[in-house]
Amino acid sequence: MKPHLGWHNQYALYALVAAVSLALAGCGGGSGSSSNPAPSTINNTQAVAVNSGPANNYINGLFTDVTICVPGSTSNCQTISNVLVDTGSEGLRLLSSQVTLSLPPVIDNSSNGLQECVGFADGSYVWGPVVGADIQMAGEKASSVPMQLISSSSTYAVPSQCTSGGGPNENTVQLLGANGILGIGNFQQDCGAACTSASTAPPLYYLCPNSVCGLALVPLNFQLQNPVWMFPQDNNGVLISLPSILAGGAPAASGSLIFGIGTQSDNALGSAQVYTTDASGNFQTTYNNIAYSQSYIDSGSNAFYFLDHATLGIPDCSDAPGFYCPGSTVNYTVTNTGQNGTTGPVSFSIANADSLFNSNGGANWAFNNLGGDTGTSPSTDSVDFGLPFFFGRNVFVGIENETGPNGVVGPYWAY
């Protein structure tokens, strides 16, 4: 049943402002979970793998399977393979072409479906409706979670704001290189409080009455959710554990995505140091006495994106633009500093990307020493610790507002 509460219109200076309601049709709205769960012994370990992905074109892509169900159903379910595991975003986004389930849309009181546009830093974007699903991984299940279907052909014209990054609409397996994106970063929602207020809402969510799309203000529980914090237990973050690989790379690597931090015997912090982030999920990286204050760890970035060729004195590749091609492998040590004052070194290597891509007859797709530039000089203010950072490490992602071991509250990283 869909609600019919009617529109209540009033005119503002430039904008038509309408008070409406949103509902997740056919099920309850998303609800949060306790941050102090009872001790859990259910299976919290989800297999993940680094390989070339479903389109055989993804270097350093981390993939997993995600099972979605019609909310409330235990039989009307589908498992989507090859979903990219991304600590640089929040929320589950699946290509609509891969989803055969009929999932209930999130609608307003005039039955307009909520739409979302996400522009990524590389200029690409995804666009499509927000729907509700139960999301299952390992033994964990989050109920009635708002997620996005990435439209292969849009019901509505893509808003021009959505295409303003200049890159492609990544709405096919070939373009996305995956069947979807599982965003399990430092935040509970993809937007947060900003999207609940007219004065602060960025262009992210839309409603399209009469096929004209305009910005929508969306309460927190109808925004895309990081599904992890909606699990009944093991919900304060994740641990990503990938094996060490050889310097020449590997065709593939298998690891674990473990839910919860310090909630079971398999996800204790151990010797990992906690680096809390700022409100945007960033920490400080220092190299050669210069601080880069918006640095981040991102499993969805496929290299160490580190400064520029002029600053480092190593060349870019001629036939793999944007990657570094030093004559021989170069070792670097940088220092990371959290908001909490934790400070510690990170050492990594950057090898010749041409050699890496051609090694093993071109059959390798997992590399722990792939580097790329973040610009010409001047570099931007960040170091992007991409997937190579994860090999041979336990990396913990602490979610905002959730309490971890020793009382630490997210957002934080630990490794």
Partner 1 sequence: MKTFLAVFVILLLGCTPGWAVLGEYENSVASDQQHMHAQLREVAGQGYSIKQLALADGRTVKEYVSPAGLVFGISWQGPTMPDLRQVLGSYFAQFQQSNQARRRRGGPLVVETKDFVLVSGGHMRSYHGVAYVPSLLPANVPAEVVQ
Sheet of 384-385: strands edge to edge?
343-350, 330-337, 283-287, 290-297, 384-385, 304-305, 371-372
Binding mask 91-110 for partner 1 (x = CB under 8 A): -----------------xx-
Contact window for partner 1 (CB under 8 A) among 42-50, 51-59, 147-155, 256-264: 51-59
Residue 169 beta carbon to partner 1: minimum distance, rounded to whole angstroms:
13
Residue with tokens 């998303």: 30
Residue 91 beta carbon to partner 1: minimum distance, rounded to whole angstroms:
9
Rounded-to-integer distance, Cα 49 and Cα 61, Å: 8
Instruction: Determine the size of the site formed for partner 1 (CB under 8 A).
Output: 97
When the beta carbons of 164 and 358 are compared against partner 1, the nearer one is 164
Residue with tokens 């050699």: 355
Residue 216 beta carbon to partner 1: minimum distance, rounded to whole angstroms:
5
Rounded-to-integer distance, Cα 104 and Cα 26, Å: 7
Chosen residue from 34, 153, 160, 333 binding partner 1 by CB under 8 A: 160
Q: Using CB under 8 A, which residues numbered 118 to 137 contact partner 1?
A: 118-123
Chosen residue from 185, 255, 260, 262 binding partner 1 by CB under 8 A: 185
Rounded-to-integer distance, Cα 304 and Cα 347, Å: 11
- Asked whether the beta carbons of 315 and 332 are under 8 A apart, the reply is no
Q: Does 251 bind partner 1 (CB under 8 A)?
A: no
All residues at 6 or more sequence positions from 412 whose CB lies less than 8 Å from its CB, including other chains: 186, 274, 275, 276, 277, 338, 340, 396, 398, 404
Chosen residue from 71, 88, 227, 262 binding partner 1 by CB under 8 A: 88
Q: Using CB under 8 A, which residues numbered 269 to 328 contact partner 1?
A: 280-282, 294, 296, 298, 300-303, 305, 320-323
Rounded-to-integer distance, Cα 133 and Cα 116, Å: 16
When the beta carbons of 234 and 298 are compared against partner 1, the nearer one is 298
Q: Does 145 bind partner 1 (CB under 8 A)?
A: no
Chosen residue from 218, 228, 334, 350 binding partner 1 by CB under 8 A: 218
When the beta carbons of 165 and 243 are compared against partner 1, the nearer one is 165
Bridge pairing between strands 237-242 and 253-259:
antiparallel
DSSP conformation class of 169: B
- Asked whether the beta carbons of 107 and 23 are under 8 A apart, the reply is yes
Which of 242, 228, 237 has the alpha carbon at shortest distance from 60? 242
Contact window for partner 1 (CB under 8 A) among 237-245, 332-340, 358-366, 380-388: 380-388
